[in-house]
Each structure stands twice: as C-alpha cells, then as structure tokens.
Amino acid sequence: MKKAIVYSSIGGILEFYDFIIFAIFATAISKTFFPSTNTVADLLFTFSVFAAGYFARPIGGIIYGHFGDKYGRKTTFTYSVILMALSTLGIAFVPSYTTIGILAPILLTFFRLLQGASIGGEIPGAITFISETTTKIRTFACSIVFLGLVLGILLGQIVNIALAYFLSAENMLAYGWRIAFILGGLLGMWGFYLRRKLVETPFFQAMEKAKVKTPLMTILKQYPKEVLTGWALLGLVSAGIMVLFLMMPTYKAIANLPASIASTINTLVLLLISIASLFFGYIGDKVNKKTLLLIATVVTICFSCSVFNYLVQQSLPLFFYGLFCLFSYGIAVALVPSMLAESFPTEVRYTGVGLVYNLSFATTGGLAPVIIFSLISKTNNMLIPAFYFMGAAVIMLIGLMVSSRNDMSHRHRNMKPRGHDV
C-alpha cells in the first residue's frame, strides 16, 4: 500500500511539474512563439494555448477512464505518464517563430494538447488507484496524491529560481526555459519506470463481472447529479491553484509587485500547504468533510478581497497570506479528491472521476488566466483574481448544499472489496 501511494504521488509530482512550467515560463514562451510589441496580447495568446491544454483534458479523461474501467487501472495509469514525458520534450524542441514562422505556435499547441490529454487521465487515475488501494485512510491517502501536485508546482518554481540564478535574462529567453521542459520530460520517463512496478487494485479485480460496456454513457445517464456536484466542489481547487500560485509570476508583473513577493509565495507558502494538506487529509478520515469544506468556502468569500487588496498595496504579511491559503485552498485540496472517488461505484469510478476532474480544470481552472487578465486589461482592477476565487467558493457552497451526504456516505461504506481491508 505504501509503495502504491508513493509511486502514484511521484507521478503526480512529475506530471504536474511538466504541466505547470508552461505557466511559470509564460513570458519567455510568449516572446519565443508570439513575437509582437504588445506584451499583454502576447500573454493572452500564450495563456490561450495554456487553456487549450485544459480543454484537451476532458477528452483524455474520457479515453483513459474508458480503458481504465474496462481493462484495469494499473496499465492505463502507467502509460499516461509516458505521453506527458514525450509531449513535454516535444515542446522543449519546437523551433521559435523567427525560425519556422506560423508552424511554431501550431506545433506548440499540438504538444500542449497532448499534455492536456495525458494529465486528463493521470490525476483521475491516481485518485482512483489510491482510493481503491486503501479504505481506512482513504482521505489521507488521496491528500498525498494532491500533495504531489503541490510539490510539482514547488519543483517548477525551484527550477525557475535555479535557472534564473545561473543564466542571464537573455539566455533564459533563448534556451533557459527549454532546459526546464527537457528536465520534465526526463523525469516523466523515470516516473514511467516506477509505475510499471505497481499491481492492479483489489477493487477492479473484485468487480471483473460487473464491468459496463460504455462507462461514459452510464455516468451521464445514472450519475448526472454526482457529476455536477463534483464539478462544483472541485472548483475551489482548480481556481485556487491558478489564482493563488500559477498566475502569481504574471500577476506580479502586471500589478508591479516586487519579484520577492511572487518568489516567496510560490515557495514558502506552497511548502506550508503541502504539510497542512496532510493534516487536513488525516482529519478528513475522522470528521465530517462537508463541515470542513464549509469553513473553506466561508474563509474564501470573506477574506479574498482583503488578501489581494493588501497584496497590491505591498502590505500583506506572509503569515496572513499563509493562513488564508491553508483554510481555503488547503482544506479543499485535501478533502475533495476522496469525495470524488466516493461519489462513483467501482465499475465507472475512473471515468466518473476523470470526467468531473477534467471538466473542472478545463473550465474553472483553464479559463482563469484568460478571463482574469482580460478583465484586468479592460477594468484595470487588480482585485479581479479575488472576485474569481470568491465565485468558485460560492459555486462550491451551492454544491455542498445540493449534494446528498447520505448518498456519499452509502457509497463510502461500500467502497471495500470482499477479502480486503487495507
């Protein structure tokens, strides 16, 4: 069980590192593939390609979910990481716009779509695999998987800092950002090697005769409520990871914030949340998870504007920002993954989790940079990220009100195959 959790989490670290360095190096990518004199327009083009990867995620989730529910979690879950590695290496070696013209952004978008399809099956596979490998500590184990995502962001930031330290701004633009993508591709191949050592989950082995012919159609016909409520609950996670962390380097430049602010936020606070998510995951196995998520929505709605207002004024204490992140994003990222797994039965779990997860990240997460930066350019209001995050919290609150605790608890009690108690 420990090996399964560790290998799944390592894959999450590597894959999310590959995925988010696109956002971290957005400025360099925009100048390489969209050369013009309008910086905001370049960034909008770049984040549009970034969003395209998110739109490919539901397709990847459906494909991987179908094969995962039909033929097993282990094989499907393993091969998602190699597609991410190859597509990341592809981005690293795409020539610039000045070299091959319009073909450059086209190839960039193509590899970005492959990245999106890959991670569309990766994270839902990790959630499904871990939730079916554990029972007594399911929430805690799933929080470790999402801890891997946070650590992947942290790893990307560390690589960014290291490259900036050793390379000049000119060299960073010329080839430095490509080093980050090459490193991600190589690490992804290592993750593929580790995944091959995993064994199939006992849940999938126990339901061999209960397979459905078309998992996606079963989900849409029998579990539409679970899909909608799951999307609502996951919104605070997908929005939070963008608003609080991934967009911060670009937001820093537009809001004229000191470089030290974004660097500190994306390192120390991420590390703090990594530790805290394990705590909330542990607590989530012992108390009502809905109550904790209610706290997260209240904190987000009540304090988002104050946090970003102080941030823009450069008077935000790091301790206060850390607490805000812990009790908003930290709670959600620790608890929601296991709730998604508990919402669907074994025969369609991979597909159900994949559909919900990727719809959320394609909409609430993937559209966040384009929507936020477009509104900022039109209104010059630097509190737009706060409003966006608050909107995600309101949607989660509605999801909590609509979802049935009895239905989720019933599925949770039945999420244990005969003969297994791990």
Q: CA-to-CA distance for 129 and 199, rounded, in angstroms?
A: 10
- pLDDT > 50? residue 33: yes
The pLDDT score that the predictor gives to residue 93 is 94
The residue whose two tokens read 């074994």 is: 346
Q: CA-to-CA distance for 238 and 217, rounded, in angstroms?
A: 25
The pLDDT score that the predictor gives to residue 222 is 92
The pLDDT score that the predictor gives to residue 399 is 92
Flag the least confident range among 31-45, 94-108, 155-169. Answer: 31-45
The pLDDT score that the predictor gives to residue 227 is 94
pLDDT band at residue 204 using 50, 70 and 90 as cut-offs: confident
More confident residue, 6 or 288: 288
Flag the least confident range among 134-148, 281-295, 355-369. Answer: 134-148
The pLDDT score that the predictor gives to residue 414 is 47
The pLDDT score that the predictor gives to residue 41 is 65
For residue 355, how many other CB atoms are within 10 A of its CB?
28
Q: Is residue 85 within 8 Å of 18, Cβ to Cβ?
A: yes
For residue range 393-403, list pLDDT tens digits in order.
999 999 999 87
User: What residues contact residue 167 under an 8 Å CB cut-off, 6+ apart?
Assistant: 176
Going by the DSSP 8-state scheme, the letter that residue 116 receives in this structure is H
- pLDDT > 70? residue 1: no
Q: What are the chain's domains?
A: 2-413 (1.20.1250.20)
More confident residue, 40 or 112: 112
pTM: 0.81
Instruction: Give the Cα-Cα-Cα angle 156, 321, 397 (nearest 5 degrees).
Output: 95
The pLDDT score that the predictor gives to residue 420 is 44
Q: In the predicted model, what is the mean pLDDT of the chain?
A: 83
For residue range 46-105, list pLDDT tens digits in order.
777 777 777 788 888 889 888 888 888 878 878 888 888 899 999 999 998 889 988 988
The pLDDT score that the predictor gives to residue 353 is 93
The pLDDT score that the predictor gives to residue 262 is 66
pLDDT band at residue 392 using 50, 70 and 90 as cut-offs: very high
